[in-house]
A and B are shown apart, each in its own frame.
Chain A
Amino acid sequence: MKIIVMMKQVANKDAILRVNKASTWIEEADLSWEVNESDGYALEESLRLKEKHGGEVIVCSMGPQRVKGVIKDALARGADRAIHVVVDDLNQFSPYASASVLAEAVRNEQPDLIMTGLQSDDYGYAQTGVIMAEILGLPHATIVIEIDASAEKLRVKRELESGWYQWYTMPRPALLTIQSGISQIRYATLKGIMAAKKKEIKEIMPSGEAATLQPHQRIERIYLPEKQKQTQFLGNGDAKAGAVALAEKLRNEARVI
């Protein structure tokens, strides 16, 4: 089974975000980066499928040279080779444009399965995988939390709202978007890191109509969210003093204890 995993590099969860001068995006210089959470699970699930059924896992990531960090890490964890779609500024792309560029980047590989995370931790569009599937003419399923690839058709378990689930069967090739937590993610071993150095990373440029398509949406401005509630902050940075004050407030002000 030939599996392609789409992986995005996003700002580190703990990073302090600063709005850029034009207020159109965050300041990206000096930022620390990590792999998008659900994409990490998409990789793990791909590696497990390969271990069970044989085949090949190819990582595909789009972005400037820094995304090699994500690619090398995936190769160290066990992916076989990589495709890097070199784009300096990802923010020029609308959801349709990025999905379309990614679709063209993997089309000729003719994979049996394409896996993506269910959404990115930065834009949070939750669309890239589904649009790719449409462009490539593949059936898809989203928010997948279990995959059975033992039969000719794929059987996948999807998460629905409020603790409900549903199984879907579909032919291959197909595209699945993976929910975080589907499995426990492995660490890269020293051996894996050494082996990764010899693995192929193919660089390609964006192609296809979408690389030149007019964007269908544009971010005008980003800013810190307005607070919905007036929060009383207690302790002034001293967690213990805050706890003492909190107990008193809960008793005498909120009257909940």
Chain B
Amino acid sequence: MSNGILVFIEHRDGRFNKTSFEAVAAAQNLGRELQQSVAAVLLGSGVGNLAEMLAGYEVAKVVYAENEKLKEYTPDGYTDAMERVVRQLDPQYVVMPHTYLVRDYAPKLAARFKKGLISDCIRMKVTDGNVRFTRRIFLGKMDADVVSEGEPPTFVTFQSGAYRADQAAKGAGAQVETLQVEVGDVRMRPEAPFQEVKQAVDLTKADVIVAVGRGIKSKENIALAEKLAEVLGGDLAASRPICDAEWLPIDRQIGSSGQTVAPKLYIALGISGAIQHLVGMKNSGTIVAINKDAEAPIFDIADYGIVGDLFEAVPVLTEEIRKLKA
């Protein structure tokens, strides 16, 4: 009978992805609630040292699935290897961080078991051995409680930040089981990852950030936000669509595919608050949101909010701050 929880650990260039430990924390949590053991799985080649480091966490064992073809990530390679590990361990739950890499291969893995993932969960609750996973839907406007049905394993991924990496419990030293895993044909060939032009703007050091979203409507209107940033002595930033449209350069993009910042003051103008934006700024000191939609998810994390037209609010705000600073 299926039993236990298997947690997937992501790494690149000899380093763990930090969200892997958020997944470890989630898996340990689930393990405690269900009184089941947690095993961690690492795929790769020549990363035995990482497996040893993992063994320092409170897990029943570390499975290190090794194959030359796993040296670099590919969806074909990872799916084959993980499928073999899952079939061998026969867990009840497979827990993964909802990273770009996991998004790329995990649905393929789940499909080998004729199912999908319960993806991008923000929390879970266990009652009488039944697990209810909560995920955001409608771009963050609603939450859904989801239950798994049918045969195990249940594949579940957790959103970045859902659990805290520093809450992954350390243990007395687990055993590492090295598995020479079979991998079939790998059809895609990856080139080396790279960063686009060196970032010219480092927003991580800014004390004040004024960020604009699609609510700003046009490139010309950005001048409004620029004036506000100016009186505050702050920097201008943006949500992704603004950079996609090239109204502002890409190095001013905040979010999962841009920069992660934590200024003392973050003012979001006409930004809805999609999770991919929030992960880049939610640790800011004071968060202000100006948005005409009272239900916009940005208000979930705002300290101060104005529900209304930014074109009315921003000039007044700029003028008021200018007066206060004079």
Residues of A within 8 A of B (CB): 11, 13-14, 16-17, 19, 26, 94-96, 99, 121-127, 130-131, 133-135, 139-143, 158-171, 180-181, 184, 213-229, 231-235, 237-240, 242-244, 246-251, 254, 256-257
Contact = CB atoms under 8 A, between A and B. Distances in A.
The 7 A-B residue pairs with the shortest CB-CB distance, nearest first, are: A181-B244, A239-B308, A95-B116, A247-B320, A242-B306, A243-B316, A127-B107
B142 A224 contact: yes
B120 A216 contact: no
Contacts of B321: 247, 250, 257
Interface residues of B, number: 98
A140 B76 CA distance: 9
Instruction: Tell which of B137, B196, B299, B323 has the most Cβ of chain A within 10 Å.
Output: B137
Interface stretch (B39-47, B53-61, B254-262): B254-262
A168 B191 contact: yes
Given A164-B193, A216-B149, A232 B304 contact: yes
B297 interface: yes
Contacts of A141: 75, 104, 188
B293 A222 contact: no
Contacts of A235: 306-308, 313
B304 A222 contact: no
B69 interface: no
A229 B288 CA distance: 12
Contacts, number: 285
Given A164-B193, A216-B148, A233-B307, A133 B108 contact: yes
Given A26-B138, A181-B245, A257-B232, 15 more contacts: A121-B139, A124-B138, A127-B107, A130-B104, A131-B111, A133-B108, A134-B79, A141-B104, A162-B256, A165-B194, A166-B190, A168-B189, A215-B150, A220-B146, A225-B136
Interface of B: 74-76, 79, 99-101, 103-105, 107-108, 110-112, 114-120, 132, 135-150, 154, 187-196, 199, 208, 232, 240-241, 243-245, 250, 256-260, 264-265, 272, 285-290, 293, 295, 297, 299-310, 312-314, 316-317, 320-321, 323-325
B190 A232 contact: no
Given A131-B111, A232-B305, A256-B285, A217 B147 contact: yes
A249 B188 contact: no
13 contacts: A13-B139, A124-B135, A124-B137, A143-B100, A159-B257, A162-B260, A214-B149, A227-B300, A231-B300, A231-B302, A243-B306, A247-B324, A250-B304
Given A170-B188, A229-B303, A139 B317 contact: no
A160 B147 contact: no
Contact of A126 (B120, B272, B303, B309): B120
Contacts of B154: 216
Contacts of A135: 111
A154 B64 CA distance: 32
B99 A216 contact: no
Contacts of A160: 100-101, 193
Given A94-B116, A254-B265, A168 B190 contact: yes
Contacts of A125: 116-117, 119
A219 B99 CA distance: 23
Contact of B116 (A158, A181, A216, A257): A216
A135 to B, nearest CB: 6
A26 B145 CA distance: 14
B107 A95 contact: yes
Contact of A180 (B146, B208, B244, B320): B244
B188 A127 contact: no
A96 B110 contact: yes
A125 B156 CA distance: 11
B150 A231 contact: no
Contacts of B258: 162-163
Nearest to A215: B149
Contact of A11 (B138, B194, B250, B306): B138
B138 A256 contact: no
A181 B75 CA distance: 24
A163 B195 contact: yes
B265 A180 contact: no
Contacts of B104: 130, 141-143, 158
